[in-house]
Amino acid sequence: MTLIQPDLSVFTTLESEVRSYCRSWPTVFDRAQGSRMYDEDGHAYLDFFAGAGSLNYGHNNPVLKRALLDYLERDGVTHGLDMSTTAKRAFLEFFQNMILRPRDLPYKVMFPGPTGTNAVEAALKLARKVKGRETVVSFTNAFHGMSLGSLAVTGNAFKRAGAGVPLVHTTPMPFDHYMGGKTPDFLWFEHLLADNGSGLDKPAAVIVETIQGEGGINVARPQWLRGLARLCLQHDMLLIVDDIQMGCGRTGAFFSFEEAGITPDIVTVSKSISGYGLPMSLCLFRPELDVWEPGEHNGTFRGNNPAFVTAAAALNTYWADDKLQQQTLAHGQTIEAALRDTAAHHSGSSYRGRGMAWGLELADPRHAGRAARRAFELGLLIETSGAHDQVVKLLPPLTITSDELDQGLRIVQRAVHETA
């Protein structure tokens, strides 16, 4: 692909230095449809980034777009705080009938604000309020958001340093396989809980990702998650599953914890819940935990009605049966086979993932960045993840076609080979 140098002057002179993704993809995007984005010069890019997992159903999905346009054209409510609206009612009814009831999940639904970190902050605040304790246990390499409470349960040192203040009332524990299988699961955690001299204040809750996306696509085994759930029950700690990036079908089932057969006390959902990339998040919890006083946790933009509209359309279109789930699992096998082949040609590399969330860890941590840059030159958007950005991270839209998936995987393989 021959790229014309775009005019980025207004971004580089006016926009803050905090911008990041645009540095990896130095072009000006103009439109997007399905699994592709197009820059202002007409170059097409296959998207294996999908809005960091916010676009599971692709860009400008036509069914969701039609529902949104119809709603806007009839002057449907756009901003409603927590007022009752027809859009919110439709979403809640679809969510109850298509997601919660079929899975026998008892959750109440809270709209805490428009972003994932809003949902995490609400979950942490609620757990502490319910249990009357301050400490929350998180895990190595976790990522839960960029606001202070969420940062406190995030592992990445670079992101934590940006807080500028102490991040307190949290304790990290080893994630699954963090010790390479050398110690039994939860050995350290159980010892601290049982020892009055450990210095660990009894936790209110434990927060965990079933697959650590930003942490490097670290996959927790179902038996590890079940063990964690038992530990929480034994020690009167609430179990919070952060399903912000891995929920909404990314691993196959709607919730990523379904495979493990657990029912968390609290679940956070965001990113692809709106289906269209519109800001929206949920905090789900067992009814007996609903101890909020009216207005005790609120936010101006928690009632994003256009997002309710597209979210309801997404549920009705993709979760009335298991077709999308089965397609996701089939695509996952294709991705796994391609990464297995790639890893076999690069000593010291490994791959891991579930559904359509996969990572290729390369022996040289800098190799992943080189491969991602080369992929962009070849017309593919991929990012890196992990503590050292050593993992090539693949998050294609769930609705990608088989031909598009094969094309993108060929580019990944080429990019890795050419930058070794």
β-pairing verdict for 282-285 and 108-110: antiparallel
> Buried b / exposed e across 184-215, counting CB within 10 Å, b at 16+?
ebbeebeebbeeeeeebeebbbbbbbbbbbbb
Backbone angles phi, psi at 241, to 5 degrees: -105, 120
pLDDT attached to residue 3: 60
Give per-residue pLDDT as tens, 95-143: 999 999 999 999 999 999 999 999 999 999 999 999 999 999 999 999 9
pLDDT class of 371 with cuts at 50, 70, 90: very high
Mean pLDDT of 326-350: 97
How far is residue 278's CA from residue 304's CA, in Å, rounded to a whole number? 8
Give per-residue pLDDT as tens, 10-44: 999 999 999 999 999 999 999 999 999 999 999 99
pLDDT attached to residue 1: 58
Beta pairing partners, 380 = 46
Q: Are 235 and 202 in contact (CB under 8 A)?
A: yes
Mean pLDDT of 132-161: 97
**Strand (E) or helix (H) holding 202:** none
Mean pLDDT of 398-414: 98
Q: Which residue has the higher pLDDT, 179 or 371?
A: 371
Encoded amino acid at 399, one letter: T
pLDDT attached to residue 5: 79
Q: Which residue has the higher pLDDT, 317 or 5?
A: 317
Residues 6+ apart with CB under 8 A from 142: 153, 154, 155, 172, 175, 207, 208, 209, 212, 215, 242
Report field, pTM of the whole predicted structure over 0.95 = yes
Tell me what percent of the residues of the chain surpass a pLDDT of 90: 97
Whether the pLDDT of residue 402 is over 90: the answer is: yes
The mean predicted confidence, pLDDT, of the chain is: 96
Collapsed DSSP state (helix, strand, coil) of residue 319: coil
Give per-residue pLDDT as tens, 163-195: 999 999 999 999 999 999 888 999 999 999 999
pLDDT attached to residue 176: 97
Residues 6+ apart with CB under 8 A from 9: none
Give per-residue pLDDT as tens, 223-254: 999 999 999 999 999 999 999 999 999 999 99
pLDDT attached to residue 378: 98
Q: Are 338 and 360 in contact (CB under 8 A)?
A: no
Whether the pLDDT of residue 217 is over 70: the answer is: yes
Give per-residue pLDDT as tens, 254-297: 999 999 999 999 999 999 999 999 999 999 999 999 999 999 99
β-pairing verdict for 211-212 and 136-139: unpaired
**How many other β-carbons are positioned within 10 Å of the β-carbon of residue 286?**
17
Q: Which residue has the higher pLDDT, 182 or 322?
A: 322
How far is residue 102's CA from residue 95's CA, in Å, rounded to a whole number? 10
Mean pLDDT of 137-166: 96
Give per-residue pLDDT as tens, 53-80: 999 999 999 999 999 999 999 999 999 9
Encoded amino acid at 69, one letter: L
pLDDT attached to residue 2: 58
Q: Are 358 and 335 in contact (CB under 8 A)?
A: yes
**How many other β-carbons are positioned within 10 Å of the β-carbon of residue 320?**
12
Q: Are 390 and 365 in contact (CB under 8 A)?
A: yes
How far is residue 269's CA from residue 281's CA, in Å, rounded to a whole number? 6
**Strand (E) or helix (H) holding 261:** none
Residues 6+ apart with CB under 8 A from 182: none
